[in-house]
Structure 1
């Protein structure tokens, strides 16, 4: 962004590259049915933009990318996962190469989703003394709760705290 704040894409890629973040994100994806890109969007809004985030913000983000995520990202992920064990002739060297190509396309689709989510950069600013990790935690907790339709479990809370400590 022009003011030196990282774009969502840059923020998300940097955060996801930090040790322990990918497995933590995948744990939340499995336990809460979470779209990891929306989790990363929430962290960005809190930590990088210093904006508070609420249920309406998460709902707007979900609505913006729901069709893309459901019709493009998820099917690509399902194909990639399926190629790991079958159907015949998978897994073999040929299908491993195909799986890697599908993974690259899946990542490209997720980058497009991040770019779309990055357009949602407005909101009320956090108090000036607010801690970036605390803002990221609160925002990500909102995202997990929105997807799960319930409060965080203690394990999910610990996982979100692990990711927030990496911002």
Structure 2
């Protein structure tokens, strides 16, 4: 199964969306990188460094600005109809999802099935990203994915 299809299936599992949002919003992690590492079953430092570099640059260029616009559109805006603002927010949300998919499609060919268990892959990917997320937050995602 390809990475994107695997990700959609994984994201549908109970606990995965919340664990991903916690890792993203509270601990500054790139969830696309984390999910890719689990899918690829990798904890290879060289592969993870390459993937983290791509993810970091793509996040700065596309994900962060688009996410900021989506979040900015959440509250009411005087002079703009709520329905129009919400419709635009949904359009931006679709663009944000597309940005995540482009990143994952870029990461997919970097590695495959290295045999690492989910938690080991998450820990290695989190460390490659920068300041590692707390072990309990990574363990929550690993548990939700299993």
CA contact (8 A) 2:45 2:128 kept: yes
CA RMSD of aligned residues (A): 2.2
Mapping of 1:5-84 within 5 angstroms?
A: 6-46=1-41, 52-84=42-74
Deviation, structure 1 residue 112: 0.8
Deviation, structure 1 residue 137: 1.5
Mapping of 1:138-153 within 5 angstroms?
A: 138-150=120-132, 152-153=133-134
Structure 2 gap ranges (5+):
none
CA contact (8 A) 1:137 1:164 kept: no
1:155 paired residue among 112, 132, 136: 136
> Could you tell me how far apart the structure 2 residues matched to 1:22 and 1:75 are?
21
Deviation, structure 1 residue 58: 1.9
Name 1:111's counterpart in structure 2.
101
Name 1:121's counterpart in structure 2.
111
Structure 1 gap ranges (5+):
1-5, 47-51, 127-133
Name 2:119's counterpart in structure 1.
137
Please give the secondary structure, in 2, of the residue aligned with 1:141.
helix
CA contact (8 A) 1:8 1:118 kept: yes
> Could you tell me how far apart the structure 1 residues matched to 2:73 and 2:120 are?
37
Please give the secondary structure, in 1, of the residue aligned with 2:97.
helix
> Could you tell me how far apart the structure 2 residues matched to 1:76 and 1:140 are?
25
Name 2:91's counterpart in structure 1.
101
Determine which structure has more spread, i.e. the larger CA radius of gyration. 1
Q: Deviations over 1:78-119 (max 9, x none)?
A: 100111025544671110110001001111111111100111
Tell me which protein shows more helix as a share of its residues: 2
